Amino acid sequence: MTIYIGLGTNLGERVLNLHNSKLFLEASIGSIKAQSSIYETKAWGVEGQPDFLNQVVAIDTSLTPPQVLDTMLAIEDAMGRVRERKWYTRLIDIDLLLYGSLIIKEDNLAVPHPYIQDRNFVLRPLAEVAGDIVHPVLKKSIKELEAACLDPLEVWAYEV
């Protein structure tokens, strides 16, 4: 199954944080078959934070959605993520965006990610690797969602 995972970081060595998270993902979830460019944006949700770097990876996995979630949370913990408050600074944030065309709504797991359509910093890199994929709930392609997104935060390519 191909899944799409969003990565974000705004603390420490941000490029290294993305790199290390991808190493953990490949070692524990599956092979990365595609990855977007790295994008930079102002923080979404809470102002006054350092800028974020974001990236999306496509991974082939045999894990179930709950196993993927548990593994992603373990990777965040292993990398030193501290959860101070919602939408605040973090060494790494790993989000399951899409798991094939599955729709899951549970207390601790929502697939597709409920905010995909609201965030340019997710849509831009996701469109790069999966622009023609149709959102299983909204029934629009990722490119269409990106074109219609009302998020005012600019997203720009980050030069490594």
User: Which residues are designated catalytic?
Assistant: 81, 90, 93, 95
**CB neighbour list of residue 89: distance below 8 Å, 6 or more residues apart:** 10, 11, 43, 49, 50
**CB neighbour list of residue 67: distance below 8 Å, 6 or more residues apart:** none
Indicate the pTM of the whole model. 0.95
- As a whole number, the mean pLDDT across the chain is 94
* Residue 134: C-alpha distances to residues 107, 130, 140, 153 (Å): 24, 9, 5, 23
Least confident stretch, 1-15, 39-53, 55-69, 138-152: 39-53
For domain 2-157, give the fold: Alpha-Beta Plaits (3.30.70)
Please, where are the H alpha helices in 37-137?
65-78, 120-130
* Residue 37 pLDDT exceeds 70: yes
Helix axes of 65-78 and 14-28: crossing angle, nearest 10 degrees = 140
- For residue 87, the model assigns a pLDDT of 60
* Residue 85 pLDDT exceeds 70: no
* Residue 88 pLDDT exceeds 70: no
Stated length of the chain? 160
Domain boundaries along the sequence of the chain = 2-157
23/46: higher pLDDT: 23
* Residue 72 pLDDT exceeds 70: yes
